[in-house]
Amino acid sequence: MTDERATDRTGRHGPTIRDVARIAGVSIGTASKALNANGRLKQETRDKVREVAREIGYRPNDMAQSLHRSRSMTVGIISTDSFGRFTLPIFQALEEQFADRGIAIFMCNATDDPERESQHLDQLLGKRIDGLVVTARRADKRPPVGPLPPGLPAIYVFTQADDDSALSLIPDDEGGARIAVRHLAEIGCQRIAHVTGPLRFEAVQLRHRGYLSAIAEAGLVANPSHYLAGAWSEAWGRDAVARLFDGQNEPPDGLFCGNDQIARGVVEALRERDIDVPGRVAVVGFDNWNVMTDAARPPLTSVDMNLSALGHEAGRLLIDMIGGKEIRGIRRLPCTLVVRESTRR
Q: Which fold has domain 17-60?
A: 434 Repressor (Amino-terminal Domain) (1.10.260)
Q: Which fold has domain 173-305+338-343?
A: Rossmann fold (3.40.50)
Residue percentage of the chain with pLDDT more than 70: 91
- Mean pLDDT of all residues belonging to the chain: 88
DSSP codes joined into one string, 222-255: --GGGEEE--SSHHHHHHHHHHHHTT-SS--SEE
Count Cβ atoms within 10 A of the Cβ of residue 7 and give its class: 0-12 exposed, 13-18 middle, 19 or more buried. Answer: exposed
| Strand bridging mode 254-257 / 282-286 | parallel
Q: Across residues 271-299, what is the average pLDDT?
A: 96
pTM above 0.85, yes or no: no
Count Cβ atoms within 10 A of the Cβ of residue 106 and give its class: 0-12 exposed, 13-18 middle, 19 or more buried. Answer: middle
Q: Across residues 238-259, what is the average pLDDT?
A: 93
The pLDDT assigned to 83 comes to: 67
The pLDDT assigned to 39 comes to: 66
CA proximity to 79, closest of 149, 145, 127: 145
For residue 178, the one-letter residue type is R
* 295 within 8 A of 288, measured Cβ to Cβ: no
Q: Which of 45-49, 223-227, 264-268, 301-305 is the least confident region?
A: 45-49
The pLDDT assigned to 248 comes to: 77
Q: Evaluate the CA torsion angle 74, 75, 80, 84 in order and state its sign.
A: negative
Delimiting residues of CATH 3.40.50.2300 domain(s) in the chain = 74-171+307-333, 173-305+338-343
pLDDT of 285 above 50: yes
Q: Across residues 176-183, what is the average pLDDT?
A: 98
Q: Look up the CATH number of domain 74-171+307-333.
A: 3.40.50.2300
CA–CA distance, 75 with 16 (Å, rounded to integer) = 26
Q: Across residues 81-96, what is the average pLDDT?
A: 83
Instruction: Output the CA–CA distances (angstroms, integers) from residue 71 to 19, 81, 118, in the order listed.
Output: 24, 28, 23
Delimiting residues of CATH 1.10.260.40 domain(s) in the chain = 17-60
The pLDDT assigned to 127 comes to: 87
The pLDDT assigned to 6 comes to: 42
At 302 the three-state DSSP class reads strand
